[in-house]
Structure 1
Amino acid sequence: MDRAATIASLDRAELGRCLAGAGIRLVTGRFTTRLRSPIAGVADGLHLLYGDYPLLAPEGIADFHLDLVRPASPRRWLRPQVTLLYDGRAPFRPLPLDQAFPMFEWGLNWCVASRAHRYLIVHAAVIEKHGRAALLPAPPGAGKSTLCAALVGRGGWRLLSDELALLRLDDGLLHPLPRPISLKNASIGVIRDYLPDGVLSPPVRDTVKGTVAHLRAPAGSVARASDPAAPGWVVFPRYEAGAAVTAEPLPRADTFMELAQNAFNYSLLGAEGFTALADLVDRSSGWRFRYGVLDDALAYFDTLP
C-alpha cells in the first residue's frame, strides 16, 4: 500500500480483511492512527465516510494505536459489546456492539484531546473561508454541529474540524483536522433534509449522547488537511427554534475566558497556553450568536465583520 492509497482504493470486503488482520494506518490531518478491528460496523463506517482519507502501509510508526474488539466475557453472546483498546489497554467501559463506529470516533477525539499537546486544543468547530477561520465553541445541544454542517455543506466554508480546534503554539494558526461531523438527535433529520446530497451514516440510538449519526466531510476539506488558517472570528452559537438572527459583540476579556473554559489543555500548557490564547483573541472578533433558521444563519456568516 503506497502513500497515494486511500480508503476508497479498497472495496468493502478488502477493507474488512485488512482491519481484521494487520490493521490499517489511517491519516487524518497531522495524525496517523493504526486501527484494527474485526467488527463489521467499524469497516462499514470507514468505507462510507472515510473514502477520501490517505492510507499508509500497516507497518510503521503511528501516533495512536487503537483496537475495537468484542470483550471476552460470557455476556458477549447475550448482550454483544465493543471495547476500545488504546495501546492494548481499555480506557473506557464497553459499549453495545452497534455503537462500535461512534466509539471509534469518540476514541479518536479522546486521543487527540489528551495527547496532542503541541497544540492548544479547544472544544469547538472550526471553519474557514478566504483564509480566515471562525471558531464555534458551544456546549452540547447548542446547535454547533448543525450550523457547522450547513456552513460547509451549502455555505462555501471549508471544514477544519467539527470538534477540536488545534491552535499551533509557534505561529498561532489553526491546523485542520477534518473528519466526519457528529450529529445528534433532531439535528440528524434537519441536516438530512438541508443537505440531501450529504452522506450520513445510519443513526445509532440509545448512546450516552442520544441518537447519533455522522456526516461525511467534504472531499475538498479532506484534500486540504495540511493547509492551516489564520483565526478571524470566535462565534458562540445558540440555536433557538424560530428565533431571528442576533449577533452580540463580546469584549475580548469575555471571549478569552469562555475560550479558556472550553480548552482541554489550557492549564497544562501554562504560560505557553495563555500566550497562544491571548494571541488568538487579539486576532479575532468575538460574538454571541443566536439563530433559528439555517438559511438566515448562513447569510449572516457571509457578512461577518
Structure 2
Amino acid sequence: MIDLAFRLPPFNVRVRSDFSSVADHVADLYPALQRLDSDSFVDFDIRILRGKGHRRWLGQQARFLLDAQEPFLPLPGSQAPALLEWGLNWSIAARPLGYLVLHAAVLARGTDAVVMPGFPGAGKSTLCASLAFLGGWRLLSDELAILDPGTLALHPNPRPISVKNESIDIVGRFPGAAVGPVYHDTRKGRLSHLAPPRESALAAEETARCRWIVFPSFQRDDEHGWHEEISRAEAFALISEQSFNKERMGEQGFHALCGMLDGARCFQIGYGSTAAGLELIDRLCR
C-alpha cells in the first residue's frame, strides 16, 4: 500500500507497508513531506508487515522490521501506524549515527531552543503541542532531542506529536490541529497523533542551540503553577536519565551533554493547566 522514501531531517527514511492505515498516517500527518528517489540512500529502511502464517489474516498482527531485522514483538494490526512511530523512535535512539539522542521535546524561537526532558506523566507532549500551536514556538521534536556533538546544534525531527488519553481532546481543540485516529488499548492507554504545524515541517533543516532546560510536572490541582531554577550540575544528573545513548558514546557523549548545558538556564516547573504552562514557559524563556 505504501513504498515511499522521504527526507525526515536529519535522516533519510524509506517506509514500506501493506497496511493502508500506515499509508494514510504518513499522508495525513506528515505535512510538507519531501520525497526522495526510490534508489536514494536511506538511514532507515522500515517495513510494517502483516503477521506470518494464520496471523496474517486471523487475529491480524503488525510486524516492525528495520533493515530486514525484527527487533521486537508484533502488535495488533489496528496499531500499525503507532508501531511505525514507536519503531522510528527506537531506530533513531538505537542506531549509532553520531548524534546524542535524549528523550525530550524541543522547541525553538529563532535559533534559541528549550529542551523539555520527558519523565512519565509529566505532561510533556501536551505542553509541547500547546507551545507549538498556541505559543508561537517552532516544533523541532516531541520525543527526541537530537544533538550533534561536534557543533552542539539541535536537529529538528518534526514528526506527529503523540498524545494520550484526555490530552487527545485537549489538543484537538487547538486552532489548526489535525489529529489522527485514536488507538485503543495500547500499552499507553488511548493514543493518537497530532500532525506537526506545517511551518515547523518546512523549517526542518534549521537547527537551534539549547538556551533553556525545563523539567515539567503536570499537577492537576495547582492553579497558579510554580518554578525553581536549578544548577546545571543538577540538570545534568536529571537529563542523563533521559539519554538513550550517552553511555554508549562514552567520553564524546559526556562532553556533548556538558556542552549543550553550558550557558543554558535550567528550571523545574509545576503547572495545572495548559494556560499556566504556557505562561510559565513564556516568562522563563525570554
User: For this structure pair, what is the TM-score category when the shorter chain's length is used for normalisation?
Assistant: over 0.9
For 2:96 and 2:162, locate their aligned partners in 1 and report how far apart those are by CA, in whole Å.
Answer: 21
> What residue identity is the alignment partner of 2:53?
S
Q: Number of residues paired by the alignment?
A: 284
Is the 8 Å Cα contact of residues 103 and 244 (structure 2) preserved in structure 1? yes
1:76 positional shift: 3.2
> What is residue 239 of structure 1 aligned with on the other side?
218
Unaligned runs of 5+ in 1: 1-15
- CA spacing shift, 1:138–1:60, aligned 2, 3 Å: closer
User: Which residue of 194, 197, 207 corresponds with 1:215?
Assistant: 194
* Residue range with higher mean Cα deviation, 157-166 or 276-285: 276-285
* Residue range with higher mean Cα deviation, 239-248 or 94-103: 239-248
1:87 positional shift: 1.2
1:116 positional shift: 4.3
TM-score, length basis structure 1: 0.90
Is the 8 Å Cα contact of residues 236 and 289 (structure 1) preserved in structure 2? yes
- SS across alignment from 1:232: strand
For 2:36 and 2:203, locate their aligned partners in 1 and report how far apart those are by CA, in whole Å.
Answer: 18
- CA spacing shift, 1:127–1:116, aligned 2, 3 Å: farther
1:157 positional shift: 0.2
User: Which residue of 38, 41, 58 corresponds with 1:78?
Assistant: 58
1:196 positional shift: 4.5
User: Which residue of 157, 182, 199 corresponds with 1:203?
Assistant: 182
For 1:236 and 1:263, locate their aligned partners in 2 and report how far apart those are by CA, in whole Å.
Answer: 14
Unaligned runs of 5+ in 2: none
> What is residue 28 of structure 1 aligned with on the other side?
8
Q: CA RMSD of the aligned region, Å?
A: 1.2
- SS across alignment from 1:302: helix
- SS across alignment from 2:185: strand
User: Which residue of 212, 224, 240 corresponds with 1:260?
Assistant: 240
> What is residue 272 of structure 2 aligned with on the other side?
292
For 1:262 and 1:33, locate their aligned partners in 2 and report how far apart those are by CA, in whole Å.
Answer: 25
1:51 positional shift: 3.4
Is the 8 Å Cα contact of residues 117 and 265 (structure 1) preserved in structure 2? no
For 1:151 and 1:196, locate their aligned partners in 2 and report how far apart those are by CA, in whole Å.
Answer: 12
Deviations 1:70-129 (A, max 9, x none): 122223333111101111121111111110000001111111111144111110000001
Identity of aligned residues (%): 39
- SS across alignment from 1:277: helix
> What is residue 103 of structure 1 aligned with on the other side?
83
Is the 8 Å Cα contact of residues 128 and 229 (structure 1) preserved in structure 2? yes
Deviations 1:160-199 (A, max 9, x none): 0000101111111111111110011111112113x15300
Is the 8 Å Cα contact of residues 225 and 270 (structure 2) preserved in structure 1? yes
1:274 positional shift: 1.2
The reply to whether residue 90 of structure 1 matches residue 48 of structure 2 is no
1:61 positional shift: 1.1
For 1:91 and 1:150, locate their aligned partners in 2 and report how far apart those are by CA, in whole Å.
Answer: 33
- SS across alignment from 1:303: helix
- SS across alignment from 2:63: strand
For 1:52 and 1:140, locate their aligned partners in 2 and report how far apart those are by CA, in whole Å.
Answer: 31
Matches within 5 A, 1:50-69: 50-69=30-49
For 1:153 and 1:116, locate their aligned partners in 2 and report how far apart those are by CA, in whole Å.
Answer: 32
> What residue identity is the alignment partner of 2:239?
L
Matches within 5 A, 1:10-49: 16=1, 19=2, 23-49=3-29
**Off by >6 Å, runs of 4+ in structure 1:** none
> What residue identity is the alignment partner of 1:293?
S
The reply to whether residue 183 of structure 1 matches residue 131 of structure 2 is no
For 1:230 and 1:261, locate their aligned partners in 2 and report how far apart those are by CA, in whole Å.
Answer: 21
1:138 positional shift: 2.2
Is the 8 Å Cα contact of residues 31 and 195 (structure 2) preserved in structure 1? no
User: Which residue of 109, 127, 133 corresponds with 1:129?
Assistant: 109
> What residue identity is the alignment partner of 1:56?
L
Is the 8 Å Cα contact of residues 31 and 196 (structure 2) preserved in structure 1? no
